[in-house]
Amino acid sequence: MYFFSTSFFKFFAIFFALHLIFRYFLKGKIRNILVVGASYYFYSKWDWRFLSLIWISTLVDYYIAKWLDREADPRKRKQFLIISIAVNLGILGFFKYYDFFISNFALLLEGFGFHPNITLLELILPPGISFYTFQTMSYSIDVYRGKIKHEENLLDFACYVAFFPQLIAGPIERAGNLLPQLKNSQSVSLTLTGFALGVRLFCWGLFKKLFVADNLALIADTVFEDPGKFDSLSLLVAVYAFSFQIYCDFSGYSDMARGLGKMMGIELSINFNLPHFSTSVRDFWRRWHITLSTWLRDYIYIPLGGSREGLSRTVYNLVLTMFLCGLWHGAGWNFILWGTFNGVLLAMERVLENHSLTRIWRSFPTFIRILTTFHLIAFGWIIFRSQNMDILGTYLSRLFDPHVIMETVRNFEISVLNDGFRFFAAFGFYLLPLLIIQYLQYRKNDHTVDLHWPAWVQGLAYGCLAFLFWLLSVEDGKQFIYFQF
């Protein structure tokens, strides 16, 4: 049940009507029964069998947090925490990484002349598993660290784990932010204004997903399928297309999730802050998938020592954290390589932080720094998107091969039949509305810049976007990319 499907609209309409009734006529606790019930129903529409995993994760972390708060002995507290982490990572590892590690281990053994007889499980990845396990883990860790108190009410905690707008692909919410809102219905203001803002955000997410992302996917999918068939310009445009596809796909989902939350009076965390306007890789990771980046920072990078233990240790911590970030994205070498690549970039920035070159670099005009950062990040997306090393090799060799570049220049013509030109024109067309709006948001440093416009400008802008969306958004939306993580 995708957010853009008719079945979801029906589901949400019924849910929201009941939500209003529950809120105004019944007590808050009952409201959470509805939210939990709706969330489990929503999840069961993906695959009801995996509901048991959510229940395991919920119960384990609920009771462990309870024991953590009661237990004074640090050794025992640590043991409880380890159990929580082991259960969550165990579930995650079993379903997501078992086949990957086993097959790679077997390959390694084959390198030493052994021929192990291995059995791959070929399990279906439970939807949202990477998101809710990280969410529940953060809860137990925060309770362990004494940052928050454990939640007494199992229903409220279950609501926090399974809250359906962000269950499948985040934002990865901290208990400190979401639980109080779910718990205390009086703190949640359900207003017409909030509802309207939620609808606005949801529609913007829908536009990003079905107009921008899924249309750009036509370019990226075509080229990444067989990069050997395309010229350098097509390969370059396809990388750009994928950069914006993955952004609009994921941030579109986050916007829709946040929009749904707002309609219900709940503020979910901002997950993307105009990442394509970043002036450095570090800046990019502060703006991209913010709830994961901060999770990795708080629960991996800082516990590893962060930047407190010298430059070489900082470099090591950065690369290791980003390596794990890559691994989180999927059980594949491309993801690991992509994460490590970003880690190396971050480490290089850190090493060169006080170098005179960096000072010169910072004096460059902002748009040059934005463009350079964009290209560095985009290079990483080639690794991320390539399904295997052969495709990656072909892609990179053709993208940078001087002969292919010269051939591209020689054969270029302004014609629909010229792949490079066609892809470039389509890319520009589908991206332009997003770029205009995000540029305005960037200039004012305000995601709600449109709300300050005069009414007639708003009407015109929304009308144009709605028109474009109606006419040219894809009819059969693709699965969200981050659902597979």
Task: Say whether residue 475 binds another protein (CB under 8 A).
Answer: yes
Can you tell me which of 123, 311, 432, 464 binds another protein, judged by CB under 8 A? 464
Can you tell me which of 20, 218, 344, 440 binds another protein, judged by CB under 8 A? 218
The least distance separating another protein from the CB of residue 383, rounded to whole angstroms, comes to: 24
Task: Say whether residue 432 binds another protein (CB under 8 A).
Answer: no
Q: Which residue has the tokens 């105009």?
A: 274
Can you tell me which of 219, 236, 319, 382 binds another protein, judged by CB under 8 A? 219
Nearer to another protein, 397 or 448 (CB): 448
| Cα dihedral 236→237→240→246 (10° resolution) | -120
Can you tell me which of 463, 479, 482, 485 binds another protein, judged by CB under 8 A? 463
The least distance separating another protein from the CB of residue 444, rounded to whole angstroms, comes to: 8
Asked whether 265 and 188 are in contact (CB, 8 A), the reply is: yes
Identify residues 273-312 at the interface with another protein (CB under 8 A): 273
Identify residues 106-135 at the interface with another protein (CB under 8 A): none
Task: Say whether residue 422 binds another protein (CB under 8 A).
Answer: yes
Can you tell me which of 426, 435, 437, 440 binds another protein, judged by CB under 8 A? 426
> Stretches 150-158, 213-221, 298-306, 310-318: which one binds another protein (CB under 8 A)?
213-221
**Pure H helices in 274-418:** 281-287, 290-296, 302-304, 311-329, 333-351, 356-362, 366-385, 389-400, 402-411
Phi and psi for 412 in degrees, rounded to 5?
-65, 135
Nearer to another protein, 96 or 200 (CB): 200
Q: How would DSSP label each residue in 112-158? A: TT---------PPPPTTHHHHHHHHHHHHHHHHHTSSPPPS-HHHHH
Q: Comparing C-alpha atoms, which of 418, 23, 401 is closest to residue 189? A: 23
Binding track over 251-270 against another protein, x by CB under 8 A? -------------------x
CA angle in degrees (0–180, nearest 5) for 380-385-386: 100
Task: Say whether residue 372 binds another protein (CB under 8 A).
Answer: no
Pick left, alpha or beta for residue 393 (phi over 0 → left; psi -120 to 50 → alpha; otherwise beta).
alpha
Structure tokens at 23: 């809120």
Task: Say whether residue 440 binds another protein (CB under 8 A).
Answer: no
Task: Say whether residue 452 binds another protein (CB under 8 A).
Answer: yes
To the query of whether residue 452 is one of the catalytic residues in this protein, the response is no
The least distance separating another protein from the CB of residue 275, rounded to whole angstroms, comes to: 12
Length of the chain: 485
**Number of Cβ atoms within 10 Å of the Cβ of 202:** 24
Q: Cite the beta strand spans of 118-261 per DSSP E.
A: none
Helix (H, G, I), strand (E, B) or coil at 30: helix
Q: Comparing C-alpha atoms, which of 411, 29, 405, 1 is closest to residue 183? A: 29
Q: Comparing C-alpha atoms, which of 204, 178, 221 is closest to residue 256? A: 204
Q: Cite the beta strand spans of 177-228 per DSSP E.
A: none
The least distance separating another protein from the CB of residue 429, rounded to whole angstroms, comes to: 9
Task: Say whether residue 456 binds another protein (CB under 8 A).
Answer: yes
Task: Find the helix packing angle between 389-400 and 402-411, rounded to 10°.
Answer: 60
Task: Say whether residue 458 binds another protein (CB under 8 A).
Answer: yes
The least distance separating another protein from the CB of residue 445, rounded to whole angstroms, comes to: 8
> Stretches 23-31, 55-63, 326-334, 458-466: which one binds another protein (CB under 8 A)?
458-466
Task: Say whether residue 446 binds another protein (CB under 8 A).
Answer: yes
Nearer to another protein, 305 or 459 (CB): 459
Nearer to another protein, 121 or 455 (CB): 455
Task: Say whether residue 483 binds another protein (CB under 8 A).
Answer: no
Task: Say whether residue 193 binds another protein (CB under 8 A).
Answer: yes
Q: How many residues bind another protein (CB under 8 A)?
A: 38
Phi and psi for 211 in degrees, rounded to 5?
-95, -50
Marked catalytic residue, from 329, 355, 375, 447 = 329
The footprint of another protein (CB under 8 A) covers 192-193, 196-197, 215, 218-219, 222, 270, 273, 416-417, 422-423, 426, 444-449, 451-452, 455-456, 458-460, 462-464, 466-467, 470-472, 474-475
Q: Which residues are catalytic?
A: 329
